[in-house]
Amino acid sequence: MANIKEIARVAGVSITTVSRVLNNHPYVSKEKRAAVLHTIEQLNYTRNMNAVHLITGRTKAIAVILPYIHFFYFSVIVEGLAREALLAQYRLILCQTDYRPEEELKVLDMLRNKEIDGVIIVSTALQPEVIEEYTAYGPIVTCQDSGERRFSSVYIEHYSAFRHGLEYLAAKGYHNIGYCEGRKHGSSSSIRQSAYRDFLAETELPFLEEWMIFDCITEEDGAAVLHRLLNMTKRPDAIIISGDHVAAGLIIEAQKHNLRIPADLAIIGFDNQPIGRLLGITTIDNQLFEMGACAFRIIHDQINGDGGPPVHLKLEYSIIERLTV
């Protein structure tokens, strides 16, 4: 493969001119441009983009940190990100880390090593203090509310969204409220747990430890929740579930066991998923697609603008009333 020096020699121009032609720089005469392009064709030259990145200091690539891709929550955020990335002609480097801190740090090291122009963190096992250290190397945007940090964020307020859902259930006359959650120790998950405990304590509604059910990740976990409920001595009359697909699993299993929704058990879900629309699940819409799209637009502005202070964008959630409450 010919290199840039050889092209300059054959075309009879300077290396600078070749470089300008390759980068579509305006200040090159028609004749010289034609000579360079002709030579390139002759020599079948291919640019080594690593050299281009080295020279320009830009890669037009952004890394995305997330634990896994095949869950609705993550895949819809990435869909929002990817649509904007395509419009802006940026590459997304998918860094699926399974919540392993050492893997997430490696991704942040890519920013330090100039392999990428920025990092979008959809969900992470790292503490905000650790992430802040890397803001020296380039823009970082999280899709979680981490407080007013030195990196940007786009988020919904999980505490208030979750409380809103609980208030909605209580206002409808349900006073024995259970709770289904994904992983126990996530940052958003911890916030929702606080919202649940705080609300029950303040309103003096009954609280039973067994009414908090964790590790509800899939539809089938939702179906398993039904059986746990059926085996309880005292059963909740309503349940808030952080994921419509888990709620769907519970509802489908409930039909098989003639448990009526909402008469025997009211349900409010999260995420406004298509399966929830079909089953008429009352849900909290947390604007996942929009969250991904906004995260990209923020990081794109920071890469291509003057940097500026971090942006903290709060998106509004809404309760969508359907048939399960």
Residues that bind a copy of itself (CB under 8 A): 46-54, 59, 61, 63-64, 68-70, 72, 75-76, 78-79, 82-83, 85-86, 91-98, 103, 110, 112-115, 137, 218-220, 223, 245, 248-249, 252-253, 274-275, 277-279
Indicate the SS3 state at residue 211. helix
Strands (E), the chain: 61-66, 91-96, 118-121, 140-142, 152-155, 177-180, 212-213, 238-241, 266-270, 282-285, 312-314, 318-320
The CA-based angle 85-156-321, given to 5 degrees, is 110
Q: Strand 266-270 vs strand 238-241: parallel, antiparallel, or unpaired? A: parallel
Residue (114 or 149) nearer to a copy of itself, CB:
114
As measured in angstroms, the least distance from the Cβ of 207 to a copy of itself is 30
As measured in angstroms, the least distance from the Cβ of 185 to a copy of itself is 20
**Residue 45: which residues within 8 A CB-CB, separation 6 or more?**
1, 2, 3, 7, 39
Count the Cβ atoms, other than its own, within 10 Å of residue 117: 23
Burial profile 254-293: b = 16 or more Cβ within 10 angstroms, e = fewer = beeeebebbeebbbbbbbbbebbeebebbbbbbbbebbbb
Which ranges constitute the DSSP H helices of 95-143? Answer: 101-112, 128-133
Residue (14 or 113) nearer to a copy of itself, CB:
113
What are the structure tokens assigned to 32, written together? 């010289």
Q: Are 237 and 174 in contact (CB under 8 A)?
A: yes
CA 238 – CA 33 distance, rounded (Å):
72
As measured in angstroms, the least distance from the Cβ of 137 to a copy of itself is 8
Element (H, E) at 77: helix 72-88
Q: Are 206 and 174 in contact (CB under 8 A)?
A: no
As measured in angstroms, the least distance from the Cβ of 272 to a copy of itself is 13
Residue (73 or 196) nearer to a copy of itself, CB:
73
As measured in angstroms, the least distance from the Cβ of 79 to a copy of itself is 4
Residue (252 or 259) nearer to a copy of itself, CB:
252
Residue (44 or 233) nearer to a copy of itself, CB:
44
As measured in angstroms, the least distance from the Cβ of 322 to a copy of itself is 13
As measured in angstroms, the least distance from the Cβ of 37 to a copy of itself is 17
As measured in angstroms, the least distance from the Cβ of 143 to a copy of itself is 15
What number of helices (H) and strands (E) belong to the chain? 13, 12
